[in-house]
Amino acid sequence: MSHDFEVGGEREPEHPPPGHPILAMADRVMVWVNKAVMIPCMLALVAAAVVLSYSVVARYFLKIPTDWQDETAIFLLVGATFFSGAFVQSYRGHIGIDAVAHWMGPKANRIRMIFVDGVSFLFCAFFAWKSWTLFHEALHEGQTTTSTWGPPLWIPYSLMAVGMTLLALQLLLEFAGRVAPGPRKAA
C-alpha cells in the first residue's frame, strides 16, 4: 500500500512532462488553482472546529439552543473535503495498492498507469456531472435539509460539484500527460 504520511516534509506536486506547451500551461494553472483553493479549505477546517466548540459553550454555559452548528460544520467539512480532492491528487495523495508496480516492466507500468488515470478520470467526471445535476435540482426546487433550521441543500451540493470538477480536471491533466508525446514520467 502506498501512503502519503509525511515524514520528510512536503513534497512538490507531480507535474506532467512539459512535452506539450498546452499541457504545461494547463498544469501551471491547475497548480495555482489548487494552491488558491487550499486557503478556504484550511479556514473551513478551523471554522468547523470553532463552530462546534461554540456549540458546547452556547448550550452548556449560555443556555442558548444549538440548532445550526452541526449542519454548518457539516457544510464546512464537506466543502473542505471535496475542494481539496484535486490538491491531494496532485500529490498522488489518494492511496492505492501499488504492489504490482514492482513486478512490471516500464512499458507495462505505463499502460497500467494510463488505465488507472483514465478510469479514475471517467469516474470523477461522471460524479462531477451528477453533482451538478443534483445542485441544479436542489436550487430550482428550493430543497432544504430536514432539520428545524433547514438550510438550502444547494450549498453543499455546489461545493461537491466544484470540488469533483476540479478533481476530474486534475486527473484529466495527469492522463493527458501520460498519453501525450514527449518525455514520460515514471509510473
Partner 1 sequence: MSALAIGIAYGIATLVVMFSGMPIAFALGSVALAFMYFFMPASALDTVTQNVYEEMASITLLSIPLFILKGAAIGKSAAGKDLYQAMHAWMNKIPGGLGIANVFACALFAAMAGSSPATCSAIGSAGIPEMRQRGYSPGFAAGIIAAGGTLGILLPPSITMILFAVAAEQSLGRLFLAGIGPGLMLVALFAVYSMYRFRKEYRMAHAAFKDGATKSAMLDDHVYTLREKVEMLPRVGPFVVLLIGVMVALYGGFATPSETAGLGAVLALALVAVVYAMWKPRDVRPILVSTVKESTMLMFIIGMSLLYSYVMSSLSISQNTAAAVVGMHLPKWILLAAILFMVIVLGFFLPPVSIILMTAPIILPPLKAAGFDLIWFGVVMTIVMEMGLIHPPVGLNIFVIKNVAPDIPLKDIVWGVMPFVGLMFVAVFLLCFFPGIATWFPDLVMGAPK
Binding site for partner 1 (CB under 8 A): 1, 3-8, 10, 38, 41-42, 45-46, 48-53, 55-56, 60, 70, 73-74, 77-78, 80-81, 84-85, 87-89, 91, 93-101, 112-113, 115-116, 119-120, 122-124, 126-127, 130-131, 133-134, 156-157, 160
Cβ closer to partner 1: 18 or 66?
66
Decide if 6 contacts 97 (C-beta within 8 A): no
Cβ at position 187, least distance to partner 1 in Å: 8
Cβ closer to partner 1: 18 or 54?
54
Cβ at position 82, least distance to partner 1 in Å: 8
Cβ at position 158, least distance to partner 1 in Å: 12
Cβ at position 25, least distance to partner 1 in Å: 25
Cβ closer to partner 1: 41 or 172?
41
CA pair distance 131, 85, nearest whole angstrom: 15
Decide if 147 contacts 75 (C-beta within 8 A): no
Cβ closer to partner 1: 28 or 94?
94
- DSSP label at residue 102: G
* Nearest Cα to Cα of residue 137 among 152, 124, 122: 152
| Number of Cβ within a 10 Å radius of residue 184 | 16
Cβ closer to partner 1: 25 or 46?
46
Residue type for position 76? L
| Number of Cβ within a 10 Å radius of residue 165 | 20
Query: CB-hemisphere CA count at 13 Å for 53?
Result: 6
